Structure 1
Amino acid sequence: MGDSAQFTDVLYASLQLFVLELPASGDTGPYPVPLEIARFAAPGVTFYALVEALRLLFAAEAQRLRARRARGHVVICGDGPMATSLSRQLRATGHRVVQIAESRVESSGRRAPLQVLGDARNPDVLRAAGVAHASALYACTEDSATNTAIALAAGRRDRGERPLAVYAQVQDPELCLALQARHLGTSEPPAIRLDFFNIDDLAARHLLAKEPIIPPLDRPPRFLVVGATTFGRAIMVEIARQWRVLAPAGMWRVEVAVVDDAATSVIDELTFRYPFLSKACELTPYDENLLAMLAEKTAPEAPDRVFICYEDEQLALKTALIADRLWQGGRGSVIVRQDQLATLQTAFDGARDERIFDEVSGTLRLFGVVDAACAPGLIRDDLGERLARVIHESYLVARQRRGEGPDEAPSIVSWGRLPDRLKQENRAQAADIGRKLRAIGCVLAPRVAAGGEHTLTSPELTLLASMEHERWLAARLRDGWQFAEERDDARMLHPAIRGWADLPDNIRAVNADAIRELPSMLADSGFRIVRMRKGS
């Protein structure tokens, strides 16, 4: 380049070499102003893009490093509505979140989750998310098989300083039940605390817990379930569970009308799967569409609460808006299952400047199943925890039947008042179900179709009761308990600290009662005991 070259030419040539790696051209100008701007803009934009790429790369690596070094955090796998809502709710309650997704998830704010890009089934990606030191992992992609594979990969992780709880979302409720049965039936303690959950089942439990049944004084409660979908079925089961606890002995059954093209067959399936359903509810099927049913003279009386459960959100909303005969139950009595359209609720009952629809006196309520199911405490209340509560409730009934009260044992109290140590004993008993069943050649199966349910024989009851005592005894001895004729929990003394053969009959009876109630406890959760073929 000659001495007459302008300063701008020298600068431009330098940019070419540094950014574009191109030799300077022999044309030294002068150039028109637009071209002068353009020739500097081109390498300038390239340089900016390079700097931005490096910034993003270093930011991603910094996030991966922070995620790998995290302790006691929660790992969420997925980038769909479930993962997004769960991440938001966990962060709102003060949890540190690391999210694994295939692509970057938009998030901002001080509590924005750390992100790791990749396939959560890959052990290297899980390590990058610091799963070895996490407290919990939620696998909630849109694919159930992927979530199950993530749970398997998490179980193979390097052991950290804390146990890992893994919760895997499963779309199909029957598959969810089958996977729970297989996990509950394991004869060895698993490496992780694992549970499978279904969104509609969680949402139904959330709804009935927040808005429990209020019994009328002079008649049974009346409910109408429109659409026997997964959510509709879960609603029926939760109504029965709650009413079974609320209703005094000899009180009427709650009335539940079910409107669906397959209502009769659905009721038959559900009452087989959950035997308590027909004991708590009077179920009436209407195998037709809602408007046809409402036009008939045999239509049920006005319900106290209506659940419109169609998976098609627009159909559910349309049904709620045109079936005016359902609007007689009072405020919030017509509950419409929604997901993406749940945000429309403010259009009915929001502030004055947000409301654009008549609220029908507050009758309609759009219920967002995803947000409801994402309550972290609800997901953590897994199958093992629920079985532990049922085991304790059965124990209470048996002891109270003998006329015993809290004075005889500190364990004769409600679950909420039970000391943590005794709660843990019930959890350990639930986790030991698979080992006991294996000892008598049996396994768990979901109650999804008619089949050969095994009835425990008297020798089997005795064997399983002795196994339960020996398990309990080993745990107490590890904790330092000793034998004494009189029980003293403060000094860790107990009259049952001895072998099964040396136990008095009244203590043996406690273990026998627990085993005798096992089939019904499992049936309440949708399982049954089946005998395997000899030698299998």
Structure 2
Amino acid sequence: MRIARSIREYQWALVGALALTALVLGQVGFELLPPRDGELSFSDSLYRSLQLFVLESGGTPPPTPWQLDVARALAPLVAVYAAVGAVLALFREQLQRLRIRLFARDHVVVAGLGAKGFQLARAFREAGLRVVVIERDEQNPLVRSCRERHIPVLAGDASDERLLARARADRARHLVATCGDDGVNAQVALAARLVPRRRSGALTAFVHLDDLDLWRLLGAEELGRAERDDLRLEFFNVTDAAARVMLEEHPFEHDAGSPHVMLVGLEELGRRMLLHVAARWREASAAGERRLRVTVLGPEAGREIDALVRCHPELADLCEIEARTVGPAVGDLDPVRAPSAGAAPSVAYVTLPRETDALAAALALRTNRDLGLARVVVAVQDEQDGIATALRASVGAREGVAAFGVLSRTLTPELLLRGTGEVLARAKHEQYVHAERLKGRTPEENPSMRPWEQLPDVLKESNRRFADGIGPKLAAAGLVIVPDPLADPATAVAALSEEEVEELARLEHDRWCRDLERDGWRRTSGAKDPERRLHPQLVTWAELSEEERDKDRDPMRELPGMLARVGFELYRSARDGRR
């Protein structure tokens, strides 16, 4: 791969060297020919050597010097290669558009070629999916990097629906907006709604938002939207995703005798880490009996913690937080001592914004004998590059220091596709499997009980449509969704009355019937026939048996808990007045 990339990078220098070689060998070869009508002058030999590139050097009687034979073969090849390259460069844009028009189907459109966009474009391409990139700046050096990976790049404004149409967003599977500006990213998604779909199924648009508050609010707004179309809109935030994945890959020991966690830095990533640590602790079996000890180090740790607790009062119930104010210099971490009472921290998460500060802090904490930290996890941009390389060279993972790549570990197709809608769809499937097991059924009897990864696409899509229909049902029932990263799934399940469950279940059945009828299914009095698209349950709610009604009631009872697991909570509308 590296050899091929190097050849592409220096190909024209190589072509020039080969052309010069052919010219010199031709010159030497002509001068070595036996004289016929007098010896050739230097200029005559040079002229005939130049004619080799266009196959016009004239015939020569044998014996022919080997230099001339090589030049005769090499010169035309160089000329043809250069001519083809020039034509391709001249018509690159037209050829690229033709390639997209003919072959772009079920592909991924990436709008914006910054660090995030390039990381995702490369990751989707390496996963075997076709990718089309839209980038405003034609001089962006990452454009060349994409083309080296055979990823076509269209120049222009991704918020222009005409350019999205040229990228064949109408036939795409996913759209990713990473233009570096929250407003522009939102405009890209709105423009995608204006492109008529030519592919069956919805287009899922993943829109990155840097503003964490805006990300949560728009996520709740989209999830609770009363009207649906062929665009599934997923908002994502790298900072929150990094905190979640960092904790998944480097968890703290919540089942220890006296768990204790340390956080260094309370900027955006540090704040999200604290919220995810608290949520993870609540999920632990012992969370209701005691609070998790958390030590936070930072220049203004006390003020930051007070502000965070005001926004999320549940933090004080879940965690016993000790804020230690330390200066920004690495030397300020050296005198940090273990607590006089209780266990020392078992792990420290370093989330400082500057990687050099993060590396120095990790080394200082790891070598602090008084703390005796077993593990230090430090957040960097890419765990395979830059500071992370120096970290491995200095101490290495063997000595308890691990680097976590914020971009390299979170900007992956697997994690991006695991958005809010997908999590809710999986939760719906898990609820169905659990209900079927309670009835004594097995996957052998009911193939729909298979794990999510083994489900056919049609059943996955059915669960995704359930998630799509959450907003319209809640709006009709007078319920609204609000963001709450510390919402408790255990208590949320009691949020709905039986009357509300019944109403939501009826609305869900109506939604299910409409979707099947739109897909060409018809009612039958016989058994279900997928090949002929016949289903006996395509009837009104009043005509359903109680057993069939329970299939809609059960997920509605679990809906508040499902929403809590993705950081949202249900409230009744203002006209009701109850929570």
Q: What TM-score, normalized to structure 2? A: 0.68
Q: Is the counterpart of residue 367 in structure 1 residue 404 in structure 2?
A: yes
The corresponding residue for 1:128 is 166
The corresponding residue for 1:423 is 460
CA distance in 2, matches of 1:119, 1:299: 59
Q: Is the counterpart of residue 310 in structure 1 residue 344 in structure 2?
A: no
Query: Can you list the C-alpha shifts for 1:358-415, whole angstroms capped at 9, x where unaligned?
Result: 4485332232211122111211112111111223334555666x56453786555654
Q: By how many angstroms is 1:286 displaced?
A: 1.9
The corresponding residue for 2:391 is 348
Q: By how many angstroms is 1:159 displaced?
A: 2.3
Q: Is the counterpart of residue 92 in structure 1 residue 126 in structure 2?
A: yes
The corresponding residue for 2:190 is 152
Say which of 193, 210, 216 aligns to 1:171: 210
Runs of at least 5 residues in structure 1 that lack an aligned partner in the other structure: 1-51, 350-354
Query: Can you list the C-alpha shifts for 1:158-189, whole angstroms capped at 9, x where unaligned?
Result: 32235422111101122111112222222232
Q: The residue matched to 1:193 in structure 2 has which SS?
A: strand
Report matched runs for 1:8-19 at 5 Å: none
Structure 1 contact 77–101 (Cα < 8 Å) conserved: yes
Structure 1 contact 465–511 (Cα < 8 Å) conserved: yes
CA distance in 1, matches of 2:164, 2:539: 46
The corresponding residue for 1:468 is 508
Q: The residue matched to 2:144 in structure 1 has which SS?
A: coil
The corresponding residue for 1:508 is 549
Q: Is the counterpart of residue 446 in structure 1 residue 483 in structure 2?
A: yes
Q: By how many angstroms is 1:344 displaced?
A: 2.1
Q: The residue matched to 1:106 in structure 2 has which SS?
A: helix
Q: The residue matched to 1:517 in structure 2 has which SS?
A: helix
The corresponding residue for 2:5 is none
Q: Is the counterpart of residue 191 in structure 1 residue 230 in structure 2?
A: yes
Structure 1 contact 267–283 (Cα < 8 Å) conserved: no
Q: By how many angstroms is 1:431 displaced?
A: 1.0
The corresponding residue for 1:339 is 381
CA distance in 2, matches of 1:387, 1:421: 16
Q: By how many angstroms is 1:307 displaced?
A: 1.0
Report the aligned-residue RMSD: 4.2
CA distance in 2, matches of 1:395, 1:249: 28
Runs of at least 5 residues in structure 2 that lack an aligned partner in the other structure: 1-84, 327-331
Query: Can you list the C-alpha shifts for 1:468-503, whole angstroms capped at 9, x where unaligned?
Result: 23333455665456457x999999998866433344
Q: By how many angstroms is 1:247 displaced?
A: 4.9
Q: Is the counterpart of residue 406 in structure 1 residue 449 in structure 2?
A: no
* One-letter identity of the residue aligned with 1:373: T
Structure 1 residues 464, 345: closer, same or farther in 2, change over 3 A? same
Structure 1 contact 69–130 (Cα < 8 Å) conserved: no
Structure 1 residues 428, 286: closer, same or farther in 2, change over 3 A? same
CA distance in 2, matches of 1:421, 1:123: 29
CA distance in 1, matches of 2:497, 2:197: 41
Structure 1 contact 204–234 (Cα < 8 Å) conserved: yes
Q: The residue matched to 1:316 in structure 2 has which SS?
A: helix
Structure 2 contact 523–536 (Cα < 8 Å) conserved: no
Q: Is the counterpart of residue 83 in structure 1 residue 129 in structure 2?
A: no
Q: By how many angstroms is 1:516 displaced?
A: 2.5
Q: Is the counterpart of residue 71 in structure 1 residue 109 in structure 2?
A: no
* One-letter identity of the residue aligned with 1:348: L
The corresponding residue for 2:363 is 321
CA distance in 1, matches of 2:510, 2:380: 50
Q: The residue matched to 1:521 in structure 2 has which SS?
A: helix
Report matched runs for 1:384-399 at 5 Å: 384-396=421-433
Structure 1 residues 481, 416: closer, same or farther in 2, change over 3 A? farther
The corresponding residue for 1:46 is none
Structure 1 residues 384, 487: closer, same or farther in 2, change over 3 A? same
Q: Give the number of aligned pairs.
A: 468
CA distance in 2, matches of 1:141, 1:471: 35
Structure 1 residues 360, 455: closer, same or farther in 2, change over 3 A? closer
The corresponding residue for 1:62 is 95
CA distance in 1, matches of 2:164, 2:245: 30
The corresponding residue for 1:263 is 305
* One-letter identity of the residue aligned with 2:215: C
Structure 1 residues 495, 125: closer, same or farther in 2, change over 3 A? closer
Structure 1 residues 84, 476: closer, same or farther in 2, change over 3 A? closer
Say which of 125, 135, 141 aligns to 1:101: 135
Structure 1 residues 345, 278: closer, same or farther in 2, change over 3 A? same
Identity over aligned pairs, percent: 32
Q: Is the counterpart of residue 522 in structure 1 residue 563 in structure 2?
A: yes
Structure 1 residues 396, 60: closer, same or farther in 2, change over 3 A? closer
Q: Is the counterpart of residue 295 in structure 1 residue 329 in structure 2?
A: no
* One-letter identity of the residue aligned with 1:62: L
CA distance in 1, matches of 2:117, 2:100: 17
